[in-house]
Structure 1
């Protein structure tokens, strides 16, 4: 006969077993590097996931017609729910650590820090932890309103016209290190943990391909050596403040200056892969193909660093067909020298209805396809029509990315998640219905309940998508009908109906 103490112990063990499979694995462990590989806990760690640039501040990097603004908690929740549905284990989010020079930024003015600017990032860290997703956080990056990006804001503050000064001027380096300290030492009020102590964060990134400034301006070995020395200075500073997170070099100069790969502080090295932009890198650069990933990974790992793909394009302007794209994904997945990858870039639903607007939008079809525009790179799951992409092609490539993410993490591809129940946000006049979209929803059915009846009649049988939201009832009346909305995933599984309205 079991003693009361043993019965209590067994009860607790059974409770742990019952809930364990519902909990994200290893959320309290730091991602570590052993040689050229990553580990989480005692297991190998490989990943795929999206870039979600706007988690800290929308409209700061690629221009957003609604920004700059803080994203809502719903937008953040929806983005992480979608990333999780797509199999993501890591999300890279620039604006969680890099914003400078605007009233809503982390550092609105040099040396002055805005604690309120962390509110969205704080929530994003908590949301990532909830989903078992790790974060890569750049510390200086893009800026839509800064000449020369985020680096340009530091140069403007110090009235330095030469971009190379960012890498060599002691005052500029000190200013950037002060920004780094403010981010790493910030205490998240939702978790009570300083960012530098939070295992949800996987890596700190030094910049967003900042070495291209030197490369494209014709800087020779001496100038590239300055960028390399800067990277080591920043890495050593980060490691002094925070010894547990990985340090990611994204200067992008290792192809022309491989000596940077011998820097002691660097854990991870990356490049960004866009055939779309090959012409900008000059005539001496070979075209980006699937083989390019393998070549870069071999170079980096030969110097005992881990290699990841921080950004890669997914659309037809980068890889003409889905077969071409699949060849790239297969190459990445089959190369053990590639520890992870992140596509650019995932968008989310809005609070009221539909999706976030296309960032860096363009109305000219030629510019939309060939210039800098979310019309080609913004991914809306499961797929929408843009000036560059058809809804069917985006949907097909989104599913390729989903399968690839599970292959990278070494787990079977599961059935699609059941979408959360939609929320009707407005019913206007004679049957115009708007609803908050559901993560993972492929389409929606709409039901109507007429006055004096208890019956719910389907008036739209999976005929609506988030692109049709708001939706107009063709037989709407002024008589006070009620509506409810049901979401369906790619397996045809229905959500719970929305509350009627």
Structure 2
């Protein structure tokens, strides 16, 4: 998300130049990867199991969905209203920018990397237990190792990651909004002041593949056909995980033509381009909705294309983004009236944030009262990291941080909060979940708290002084168990590996609110020369327990 040319350029320049040193100083570091790849959720692993809350299907294997769509309907629209099985479909949720490619891997900032399926599942299960029902990804990437590597040439590894995201989303019943291409915030000069060199997935990178200027993207016949080729490739792709063709997958609430195309003050795409691309998608995915790729900025009536709004062949959904505090409260009903009432199209708040819970509460209350607002997506949610702890992301030089479930509160002497976590995080997460349920007509006070899942998994390279693990989505804390192997037969509480476990947990109330790769727990009572075994259990906000994760050991004290 970039709200202006200047902020975008500064953000990219400073992030690339300073991030490695910054994260090293803050204790975030790369970790040895866990060798096993998490295949998706499975059933039967939770203690105190009573089934997931809301109308979410039970966790299941990622590849078990059949190749048809009869068990999950497409989202449709009737005028300005989204429908699921002929009932209004409204949502309050988050953008999840790291779902397709990750930009927040410590030590590798400036490079977008393929996410681990554990991280994708963590993010999407978080949304499902939030009651969010929908998540919006960031755009496809352009360049080596990204989705689009050359003219009409695509990277299978990157698209397999999208396969996993779609398969997991389907299984946890989360719909996705997927924008195809990013805006270009520069001109045609291509100079060092042009932020196109670092704004991820922007259309200038596509035109560069052909040696053409960014301004040619909308009307150059070859470039238009290149974009249509991308659309055809995506719609016709058959998911390698569950066998469902993208164009036939109801998991996708909408294909969005782009992200902030035209920016906040620039010219939006020509209506002819918007309508042509919408119709090309519709020809290949006739049951899937299409969202416009531009935003209304501070004056939607002047900036949004009237022709695209008025045309029945144009997009089904139009959006605006809100990052101007209480000023947004005045624009919201005007945008809803323009898009929903005047033109009969669906209106969604595609992004918003950088304010406070008082402002967010006012925004949410206005949404609840206004049926012309179908949904909203806050910026932004980050998942657990495959290396332990969480992925973290800052905006405006660390003034605002990404959010993490279930939200964390820190002791009074922890000021400021640990690197990567905002002081308002717990309040924001509780607020979003409250309104995510309320907009569905549910009583937030009676809906079961989120169930933590899957069981936490210790990383294989731990020591007694640096215990790290992959956390459970929606775990508020963890219990740490310690044992040692019996040499003369099992005595006391032992298991099939002949490990005798201490009668009480080594520690309870352990938090993994740390940035990726950080030490989560230290065993300060370990004795030199003793080989210990450790295992971890997640504890949910409502007291639900995960299964105890697999034991790791022997771990010898006290290596450094």
TM-score (norm 2): 0.73
Determine if contact 1:448/1:456 at 8 Å carries over to the other structure.
Answer: no
Partner of 1:274: 323
Shift in Å, 1:450:
5.0
- Of stretches 35-44 and 460-469 in structure 1, the one that deviates more from structure 2 is 460-469
Structure 1 residues 22, 349: closer, same or farther in 2, change over 3 A?
A: closer
CA distance in structure 1 between the aligned counterparts of 2:479 and 2:436, rounded to whole angstroms: 29
Determine if contact 2:467/2:522 at 8 Å carries over to the other structure.
Answer: yes
One of 416, 428, 434 as aligned partner of 1:403: 434
SS of the aligned residue for 1:196 comes to helix
Partner of 1:232: 275
Shift in Å, 1:469:
4.1
CA distance in structure 1 between the aligned counterparts of 2:97 and 2:210, rounded to whole angstroms: 27
Partner of 2:555: none
Shift in Å, 1:60:
9.9
One of 394, 417, 433 as aligned partner of 2:450: 417
Query: Residue 328 in 1 paired to residue 360 in 2?
Result: no
One of 158, 162, 167 as aligned partner of 2:210: 158
Shift in Å, 1:167:
2.0
SS of the aligned residue for 1:339 comes to strand
One of 291, 299, 302 as aligned partner of 2:330: 291
SS of the aligned residue for 1:266 comes to coil
Partner of 1:459: 506
Determine if contact 2:177/2:252 at 8 Å carries over to the other structure.
Answer: yes
The structure whose residues are more often helix, as a share, is 1
Partner of 1:48: 92
Partner of 1:475: 525
One of 333, 342, 353 as aligned partner of 2:388: 353
Say which structure, 1 or 2, has more relative contact order (CA 8 Å, 6+ apart).
Answer: 2
CA distance in structure 2 between the aligned counterparts of 1:404 and 1:42, rounded to whole angstroms: 22
Deviations 1:71-103 (A, max 9, x none): 1111111111111121121111124xx222x22
- Of stretches 248-257 and 114-123 in structure 1, the one that deviates more from structure 2 is 248-257
Partner of 1:194: 245
Map 1:29-40 → 2, pairs under 5 A:
29-40=73-84
CA distance in structure 1 between the aligned counterparts of 2:125 and 2:179, rounded to whole angstroms: 22
CA distance in structure 2 between the aligned counterparts of 1:477 and 1:71, rounded to whole angstroms: 38
Determine if contact 1:204/1:246 at 8 Å carries over to the other structure.
Answer: yes
Shift in Å, 1:209:
1.1
SS of the aligned residue for 1:341 comes to strand
Structure 1 residues 309, 64: closer, same or farther in 2, change over 3 A?
A: farther
Structure 1: runs of 5+ lacking an equivalent:
1-17, 277-286, 370-375
CA distance in structure 2 between the aligned counterparts of 1:289 and 1:84, rounded to whole angstroms: 28
SS of the aligned residue for 2:506 comes to strand
Tell me which stretches of 4 or more aligned residues in structure 1 moved more than 6 Å: 18-22, 142-145
Partner of 1:372: none
Map 1:209-224 → 2, pairs under 5 A:
209-212=260-263, 215-216=265-266
CA distance in structure 2 between the aligned counterparts of 1:60 and 1:275, rounded to whole angstroms: 25
- Of stretches 323-332 and 199-208 in structure 1, the one that deviates more from structure 2 is 323-332
SS of the aligned residue for 1:466 comes to coil
Partner of 1:378: 402
SS of the aligned residue for 1:296 comes to helix
Structure 2: runs of 5+ lacking an equivalent:
1-50, 59-68, 185-194, 409-416, 487-491, 494-501, 553-560
Partner of 1:344: 379
Shift in Å, 1:434:
1.6
Shift in Å, 1:67:
3.7
CA distance in structure 1 between the aligned counterparts of 2:401 and 2:226, rounded to whole angstroms: 33
CA distance in structure 2 between the aligned counterparts of 1:268 and 1:350, rounded to whole angstroms: 33
Structure 1 residues 308, 35: closer, same or farther in 2, change over 3 A?
A: same
